[in-house]
Structure 1
Amino acid sequence: MEWLMQPEIWASLLTLTVMEVVLGIDNIVFISVIVSRLPEQMAARARAIGLAMALVFRIALLSVLSWLVGLTAPLVTIAGHDFSWRDAILMAGGLFLLFKATHEIHKGIEGDEDEERGAAARKVSYGAVIAQILVIDMVFSIDSIITAIGMAEHLGVMVAAVVIAMGIMYLASGPVAEFIKHHPTTKMLALAFLLLIGVALVADALGFHIPRGYIYFAMAFSAGVEIINVIAGRRRRRAREARAA
């Protein structure tokens, strides 16, 4: 256990934890959007289950690092590009995000008939929500862990970083989900983020890497603008209420 007293171990733990939290933003946004149509108690349960599954996937993948690294080995060459299992998984996940975000945007604009079908339909929807979270957790977990490989030498450091990051994500997921639920415009913005993430995953699968810093900057800038709009809207409502009183 002498390695626990080495400063570089703690530095790698901090760096890896921060990176896992940043990479987990995609997961938080997806889960927050996908559970927004569920009743409050079911939504909270679905968020907890979703993040628990993400934690299990990440720890399980860390326990089979040799197999995970093998996912990056070329599988087939198409048009001069070597496709691996990782590329195939990222492609499938990216296309799923593009489809899901587009579908949710359509329902948000055209209306959702499922809301009129009663509790039975909501139960089916809950199962569908868990299944979708399961699929995207697998994609984000593989991408996250493969990206993290090499930043820490000890498996214990990697597991600790993942657990800490998931704890932070769990604490953040509730406020993010509530904010999206009570501000419809932010849900559309979150869906636009998912479209952006889906495009980035597909591009990665095709060999065109888009630096995540650019994507996260665009997301942070748009979120900042939306927060200003929300604050301005509240002030306008308060001003109207004051004049009416």
Structure 2
Amino acid sequence: MLELFLQPEALMIFATLFALEVVLGVDNIVFISVLCERLPLHQRKMARNLGIALAVVARIGLVFSISWVMSLTQPLVNVLSYDFSGRDLIMIGGGAFLLAKSLKELWMCFSHTHQQQASTVRAGIALVLLQIVAVDAVFSMDSVITAVGLTSEVPLMVAAILASAVIMVLCAEKINDYVMRYPGLKTLALLFLVMLGGMLMAEGFAIHLNKGYVYFAMAFGLIIETCHIVLKKQNKKIIRRVYPQPCGWAIKAK
């Protein structure tokens, strides 16, 4: 098995699969961060790590069920002269769930009663983990099918998934902190999930869209939001420099 990883062609395939899994991992971390926000503070880190672990297990399980996954590409039902495979139905259902969940979170962000709902409505950790695994299975379906198109070597696929899992665990907390600390980043993340949900549904209806455009648009939005955050911090520093003692006037007035 070690000889397999020493072959130049295998290393190229591993690098491609690793990049694919890292991109998928970012999607997962954003979704996990949004879901875990509904949990009490002391449960969020545990739920996030458990969610990542279960997501990795689900992906590896799909890899070892390649024959079943590939059978999902065969026509299953016919509706109005359109053939839908098992994969199409999973994509449509998963995309609809992701779209509905993201839109609901966006609505709560812009709602005046968001803080009240967040403090009174708390999801159970089991329900959160179940949603993470369900959505990750939908995300993973395409990546596994793509991986099968690149190679038939299961060890390469499993190694890429495990390597990306390490990156996810190392970056999850930082990404979660940034997404939750800055409202603009959270809104951008939710809009990203809305677009992903729409794209998954489109894939289910055989409307193939280039995901590169979505990632480029979100990267551009991330750059703009980062510039806003940096400028805001610089403005605060300038204000502190000009007015080092904001309460001084009140003291003199007394």
Task: Give TM-score, length-normalised by structure 1.
Answer: 0.92
**1:30-49, aligned counterparts within 5 Å?**
30-49=31-50
Look up the match of 1:114.
117
Pairwise CA distance, 1:134: 2.2
Partner residue in 2 for 1:67: 68
**Residue number in structure 2 paired with 1:95:** 96
User: Which runs of no fewer than 5 residues in structure 1 stay unpaired?
Assistant: none
Q: Determine if contact 2:58/2:133 at 8 Å carries over to the other structure.
A: no
Partner deviation per Cα, 1:151-209 (whole Å, 9 max, x = no partner): 12311111101111121122222111000111112111111111110110010000101
Residue matched to 1:159: 158
Structure 1 Cα separation of the partners of residues 6 and 126 of structure 2: 46
Contact 1:72–1:84 (CA under 8 A) maintained in structure 2: yes
Give the equivalent residue in structure 2 for 1:236: 235
Segments of 5+ residues of structure 2 without an aligned counterpart are 245-254
Q: 3-state SS of the aligned residue for 2:42? A: helix
Residues 1:180 and 1:77: Cα distance change in structure 2 (over 3 Å): same
Is the CA contact 2:21–2:160 (under 8 Å) kept in the aligned structure 1? yes
The one-letter code of the counterpart of 1:164 is A
Asked if the contact 1:17/1:161 (under 8 Å) is kept, the reply is yes
| Secondary structure, counterpart of 1:75 in structure 2 | strand
- Distance across 2 between alignment mates of 1:234 and 1:37: 28
Equivalent-residue separation in structure 2 for 1:6 and 1:183 (angstroms): 45
Question: Structure 1 residues 21-30 or 195-204, which shifts more?
Answer: 21-30
Q: Which moved further from structure 2: 170-179 or 36-45?
A: 36-45
Bigger shift: residues 196-205 or 78-87: 78-87
Q: Are the counterparts in 1 of residues 102 and 191 from structure 2 also a CA contact under 8 Å? A: yes
Listed one character per residue, the Cα deviations across residues 92-141 of structure 1 (whole Å, up to 9, x for unaligned) are 11111111111111111213333443xxx53x443332222122122112
Residue 182 of structure 1 aligns with which residue? 181
1:139 equivalent in structure 2: 138
Task: Answer yes or no: is the 8 Å Cα contact 2:98–2:194 preserved in 1.
Answer: yes
Q: Does structure 2 conserve the Cα–Cα contact (< 8 Å) formed by 1:57 and 1:138?
A: yes
C-alpha separation in 1, matches of 2:234 and 2:186 = 21
The residue type paired with residue 56 of structure 1 is V
Distance in 2 of aligned mates of 1:39 and 1:225:
31
- Give the direction of change, closer, same or farther, for the CA distance of 1:116–1:179 in structure 2 (3 Å limit): closer
Q: Matched residues in 1 for 2:84 and 2:34: separation?
A: 31
> Using the alignment, how far apart are the partners of 1:128 and 1:66 within structure 2?
30
The answer to which structure, 1 or 2, has the higher relative contact order (CA under 8 A, 6+ apart) is 1
Q: Give the alignment's TM-score, normalised by structure 2.
A: 0.89
User: What secondary structure, in the 3-state scheme, does the structure 2 residue paired with 1:77 have?
Assistant: strand
The answer for the alignment partner of 1:27 in structure 2 is 28
Task: Figure out how many residues of one structure are paired with residues of the other and give that number.
Answer: 241
Q: 1:185 to 1:125 in 2, by over 3 A?
A: farther
Q: Which is greater in Rg? A: 2
Compute the displacement of 1:30 (Å). Answer: 0.8
Describe the SS at the equivalent of 1:42: helix
Percentage identity across aligned positions? Answer: 39
Report the equivalent of 2:6: 5
